[in-house]
Chains A and B, each alone.
Chain A
Amino acid sequence: MTPLLGRVHAAMFARSFAIQGSWNFRTLIGTGFAFVLLPALRAIYRDSPDQLAAAVERHSQIFNSHPYVAGIAVGAVARLEAEHADPDVIDRFKSAVRGSLGGLGDRLVWAGWRPVCALLALGLVFAGAPWWAGAAFFLASYNVGHIALRAWSFRLGLEHGRYVGERLRRSHIAEAQRALAGAGAFALGLVLPMAMSGGLVGARPMPAWVLAAGTAGVLLGLRFGNALRTPVLFALAGFALLGLLIGALR
């Protein structure tokens, strides 16, 4: 096994923030995956340019994952390469993890951590906090989780190599996803009364008819979910056009 030094790990971790830099419809984040892995490949194949080129070629193929947990695959593949594992085994490993890492990160971050942090930040805004508080709270809270997840993923992959799947099954990710969904629903419930009462447009108190209409809007939103989004956007654009038309005709 070729030992990978700490500075190689550090370079890979730093590069992992740019894993989606060359996102394209042909290989998705495949070339980004190779870009992140390059410091390890250069250390492993430093005396063999042909093997390095072949390894880069193999790792530039199609790959997809949530960017924050892609470190699990990158770390595990770096370890497999350092152990000089059979390239077919490495390819099979990548194929096996790429779908599950996408779903795992999407539920944990895009449908969990990010909306929870955003809703709490919006709560600060609607409650009348200073102008900087919402954005500062969001950036600070979100990135604590973001960077911790990237670091945890990368270390997990490096430590467990091809057995990272078993380690993942023993982790508490499913519980974390459920907890975040609950926290998100709570935060949404918390923020809605503040938004409806005028916090959304920075104007309190609003007339009773607006509050009644807001309540009706909330009930429709809860009933129809995301299907309501496009009609609402069209209605808002239509109202803006009507407002302009009324003014133009006066």
Chain B
Amino acid sequence: MNWIWIGLIGGFVGLDSTSFPQFMISRPLVAGTLTGLLLGRPLEGMMLGAILEVFDLAILPIGAARYPESGTATVAATVAYTATTAVAEGHAALLLGVVFGLAWERVAGASVVLHRRISERILFRGDVASAARHLEIRHLGAMALDFVRGVTVCVGGAIVGTLLLGILAPLWGVHPRVAAGALLLAGSATLAASVTVFGGFREARRFFLLGAACGSLLLLIA
């Protein structure tokens, strides 16, 4: 039963990332939390989604750029991660889930390119894209295909990830605390690197340093 729901979430997340309606349920933080909730493990889903959100913050879908697709990959990685926590300790499973999610984003990104090529064929087959009714049908057809793409990428990724991490995770041989440290180090560096989005450190340093002072103060108070 869960696989049907995972497929449905995957379809809507895939559709939301570009085609319709871009409410951003396709952001890793939201997609991870929703998938975790569906699996009865919202906290784990949120944690994985938050880490993938950090890694994807600086990816901007500008123009015809080709980029990794994070939403559908997060759904697949959350399924794989929650299944892996039974055979590996918390942070080791989290690290493997994150690495799988980042790798699956590439597969999902390639599926977007494929979908766009197929859409082109659907739209311009016989050069009837201009006829009003045909245009509507083909436009909606391309959206339906995007939904199917989302379902396929999520369910396929969840199966691959669950099998792969199920085999690999029991082999993990480093203390989970070290895995947490590696994730924290990589995440902090990537998060800091996203200052480029706001014009770079030189340009944004006053606001950044003010924020860092407030963040540090909040930590001390808490």
Determine how close the nearest CB of chain A comes to the CB of B190; give it in whole angstroms.
5
Number of contacting residues on B, CB 8 A?
107
How far does the alpha carbon of A106 sit from the alpha carbon of B20 in the complex, in Å?
18
B contacts, CB < 8 Å to A: 18-25, 27, 29-30, 33-34, 36, 42-43, 45-47, 49-51, 53-55, 57-58, 60-64, 91-92, 94-96, 98-99, 102-103, 116-117, 119-120, 122-124, 129-132, 135-136, 138-140, 142-143, 146, 168, 170-174, 177-201, 203-205, 207-216, 218-219, 222
Q: How far is the CA of A188 from the CA of B124 in the complex (A)?
A: 44
Inter-subunit contact B190/A228 (CB<8 Å): yes
Question: Which residues of chain B have C-beta atoms less than 8 A from A227's C-beta?
Answer: 193
Residue with the highest number of chain A CB atoms closer than 10 Å, among B36, B196, B197: B197
Given A189-B208, A192-B188, answer yes or no on A229-B136 (Cβ-Cβ < 8 Å). Answer: no
- Name A228's contact: one of B54, B64, B193, B210 (CB within 8 Å): B193
- Given A56-B130, A198-B184, A206-B180, check contact A23 B19 (CB 8 Å): yes
Report whether B204 and A182 are in contact in the complex, using a CB–CB cutoff of 8 Å. yes
B188 & A139 in contact (Cβ 8 Å cutoff): no
Q: How far is the CB of A210 from chain B (nearest CB, A)?
A: 4
List residues of chain B with CB within 8 A of the CB of A17: 20-22
B91 near A203 with CB under 8 A, answer: yes
Whether A18 and B188, one on each chain, are in contact in the complex, defined by CB atoms closer than 8 angstroms, is no
Partner of B211, one of A132, A187, A200: A187
> In the complex, A239 Cα to B22 Cα: how many Å?
35
Q: Are A243 and B189 in contact (CB under 8 A)?
A: no
Q: Are B198 and A135 in contact (CB under 8 A)?
A: no
Residues of B within 8 A of A42 (CB): 132
Q: Which residues from B are CB-within-8-Å of A222?
A: 192-193, 195, 201
Top 7 A-B pairs, shortest CB-CB distance: A189-B211, A247-B173, A221-B192, A217-B189, A185-B204, A57-B130, A189-B212
A69 to chain B, nearest CB (A): 13
